[in-house]
């Protein structure tokens, strides 16, 4: 068999070879052309954990994790070419897998001797571990960026929490991940969770702070991370173990989610400086199949993640506060400050919208305009504070009368109110009017100086029409106002009704009908 010689060294004997290679600080093997070990140095003995007697005479494939690298002959390459200049997984005498980079050369002892193969190894295990650590670190950083991007894409708090528990459970490959929020009453409430199939759900559970396990209490009070590898071997009380048993839990990792509190110096800092932190809640991971050792890098990564989650939570809470403030401002803009029903501006806008809609659909729109009888006299008798209370009571009655989403009760000005009833004909509007009058009568608000009755009464103008395309909604208001004027002229404490949007002169000619029962009422 022809063996290419990469270097020729004249070595007179095996003993000389051993002396020569023992001086080299890397594992060296000398094999024959068939791969049988003939000599090895002291470094190889220590590295592969075989004595010289155990190794000499054995095939080099005994040292390899995959012996076929030496045994196969299918590719026509000599075995040492398949080992040379490559990282080869090897197995020591104790079973440990190590990575070795081999450099193999054919050498001769003398001109008439058969060549031998000199295999110089280099331990690459540490390098492999470093590379693995770098790869894992890169993967963790990519994962952290992905999860951070995921949780910060939304300003919806529940969506942020749901995304977080799903991503963390996938990352840890565990059975349950929950986020529990600490409320103002010092109770934890599970707000979001991700579960493996077949495990119990604590979603929505509330845990009183006083009855918290020592683990959760430590996290909430001191903001410390607690990693429990085996619940059964922990120092939890029997009560705590019983509380966890329905879930069930074998190992637990609890990481506090802390958010900052702005400095109380009264100054505006864009963004606010964080002088101190408070525990907002807990990120809880459960491994339910068996005990688990939580790796330090897992804890470090989750700790970094909870910082990003805390930022996202603060942003979401600020967004919610802004949204609430905007809703409050919007409500203030459309509401009457005293009675808390719609103001005249909002009523006018709503009337325009409904008028256009009902013009298209050719359906009726009704308006009830009402006025508290002799309200100035009421204020003069009882005072303006009592007058405000009276207005609020009347407004509550009108609000209760508008049950459908499109119905609207509004303060039109002073002691005057208006009710809009879309998709309602005149008969329906009169029924609502009678209901309001009946409720006001039951309130029996004293008005001893009223020329009508010794209690508060209202006068009503009721109109209904299918909006024509060539008439503005103000015509309906004018018709209601004329009907109200007619009710007052007839003695108050009554309603007068009109159907249609006839011109004002026509209304004055008697198209207004009034409730005769109220006229004759004593």
Concatenating the DSSP letter of every residue in 51-84 gives -HHHHTTSBGGGGBSSTHHHH--TT---HHHHHT
Percentage of the chain modeled with pLDDT above 90 = 41
> Which pLDDT band, with edges at 50, 70 and 90, does 518 fall under?
very low
Calculate ∠ Cα 360-361-364, nearest 5°: 110
Q: Taking Cα atoms as reference points, which of 100, 69, 101 lies closest to residue 82?
A: 69
Q: Is the pLDDT of residue 73 over 70?
A: yes
Map out the domains of the chain with their CATH numbers. Answer: 14-123 (3.30.450.20), 138-323 (3.30.450.40), 344-520 (3.30.70.270)
Residue 42 CB-density burial (10 A; 0-12 exposed, 13-18 middle, 19+ buried): middle
> Which pLDDT band, with edges at 50, 70 and 90, does 414 fall under?
very high
User: Which of 187-196, 332-341, 376-385, 415-424 is predicted least confidently?
Assistant: 187-196
What is the structure's pLDDT at 512? 59
What is the structure's pLDDT at 274? 41
Q: What is the pLDDT of residues 266-322, one digit of tens each?
A: 443 344 444 457 888 889 898 988 899 998 888 888 888 888 888 888 888 888 889
Q: DSSP secondary-structure letter at 307?
A: H
Q: DSSP secondary-structure letter at 507?
A: I
Distance CA 374, CA 414 (A): 12
What is the structure's pLDDT at 476? 93
Structure token pair of residue 206:
């509330």
Q: What is the pLDDT of residues 417-433, one digit of tens each?
A: 999 999 999 999 999 99
What is the structure's pLDDT at 218? 66
What is the structure's pLDDT at 380? 95
Average pLDDT, the chain: 82
Q: Is the pLDDT of residue 386 over 90?
A: yes
Q: What is the pLDDT of residues 194-224, one digit of tens each?
A: 988 877 666 555 554 444 556 666 677 777 8
Q: DSSP secondary-structure letter at 161?
A: H
Distance CA 51, CA 67 (A): 20
Mapping DSSP to helix (H, G, I), strand (E, B) and coil, where does residue 233 land?
A: helix
Distance CA 67, CA 419 (A): 93
Length of the chain: 522
- How far from chain centre, in Å, is Cα 483? 56
Q: What number of H helices and E strands is found in the chain?
A: 17, 17
274-298: burial string, b at 16+ Cβ within 10 Å, e else: eeeeebbbbbbbbbbeeebebeeeb
What is the structure's pLDDT at 30? 92
What is the structure's pLDDT at 366? 96
Higher pLDDT, 343 or 144: 343
Q: What is the pLDDT of residues 116-161, one digit of tens each?
A: 899 999 988 888 788 878 887 887 788 778 877 877 788 888 888 8
Q: Could you tell me which residues come within 8 angstroms of residue 305 by beta carbon, excluding any fewer than 6 positions away?
A: 144, 147, 148, 164, 168
Strand bridging mode 176-182 / 116-123: unpaired
């Amino acid at each position: 068999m022809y063996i290419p010689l990469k270097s020729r060294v004249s070595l007179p004997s095996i003993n000389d070879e051993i002396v020569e290679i023992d001086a080299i600080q890397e594992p060296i093997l000398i094999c024959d052309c068939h791969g049988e070990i003939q000599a090895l140095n002291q470094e190889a003995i220590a590295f592969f954990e075989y004595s010289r007697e155990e190794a000499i005479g054995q095939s080099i494939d005994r040292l390899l994790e995959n012996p076929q690298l030496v045994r196969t002959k299918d590719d026509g390459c000599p075995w040492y070419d398949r080992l040379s200049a490559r990282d080869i997984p090897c197995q020591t005498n104790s079973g440990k897998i190590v990575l070795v980079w081999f450099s193999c050369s054919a050498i001769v002892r003398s001109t008439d001797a058969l060549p031998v193969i000199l295999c110089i190894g280099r331990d690459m295990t540490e390098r492999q571990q470093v590379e693995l650590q770098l790869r894992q670190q890169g993967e963790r950083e990519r994962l952290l960026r992905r999860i951070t991007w995921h949780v910060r894409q939304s300003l919806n708090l529940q969506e942020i929490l749901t995304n977080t528990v799903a991503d963390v459970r996938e990352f840890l490959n565990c059975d349950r991940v929950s986020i529990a929020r600490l409320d103002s009453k010092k109770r934890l409430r599970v707000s979001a969770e991700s579960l493996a199939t077949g495990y119990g759900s604590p979603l929505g559970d509330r845990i009183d702070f006083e009855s918290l396990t020592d683990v959760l209490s430590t996290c909430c009070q001191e903001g410390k991370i607690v990693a429990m590898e085996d619940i059964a071997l922990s120092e939890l009380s029997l009560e705590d173990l019983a509380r966890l048993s329905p879930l069930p839990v074998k190992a637990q990792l609890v990481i506090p989610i802390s958010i900052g509190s702005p400095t109380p110096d009264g100054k505006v800092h864009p963004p606010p400086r964080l002088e101190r932190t408070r525990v907002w809640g807990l990120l809880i991971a459960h491994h339910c199949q068996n005990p688990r050792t939580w790796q330090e890098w897992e804890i470090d990564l989750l700790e970094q993640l909870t910082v990003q989650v805390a930022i996202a939570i603060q942003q979401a809470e600020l967004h919610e506060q802004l949204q609430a403030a905007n809703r409050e401002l919007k409500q203030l803009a459309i509401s009457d400050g005293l009675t808390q029903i719609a103001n005249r501006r909002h009523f006018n806008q709503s009337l325009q919208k409904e008028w256009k809609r009902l013009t298209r659909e050719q359906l009726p729109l009704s308006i009830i305009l009402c006025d508290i009888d002799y309200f100035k006299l009421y204020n003069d008798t009882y005072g303006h504070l009592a007058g405000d209370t009276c207005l609020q009571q009347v407004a509550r009655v009108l609000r209760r009368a508008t049950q459908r989403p499109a119905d609207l009760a509004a303060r039109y000005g002073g002691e005057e109110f208006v009710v809009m009833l879309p998709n309602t004909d005149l008969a329906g509007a009169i029924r609502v009017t009678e209901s309001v009058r009946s409720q006001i009568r039951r309130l029996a608000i004293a008005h001893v100086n009223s020329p009508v009755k010794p209690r508060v009464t209202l006068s009503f103008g009721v109109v209904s029409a299918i909006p024509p395309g060539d008439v503005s909604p103000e015509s309906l208001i004018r018709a209601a106002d004329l009907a109200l004027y007619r009710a007052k002229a007839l003695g108050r404490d009554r309603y007068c009704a009109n159907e249609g949007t006839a011109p004002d002169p026509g209304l004055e000619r008697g198209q207004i009908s009034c409730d005769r029962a109220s006229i004759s009422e004593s």
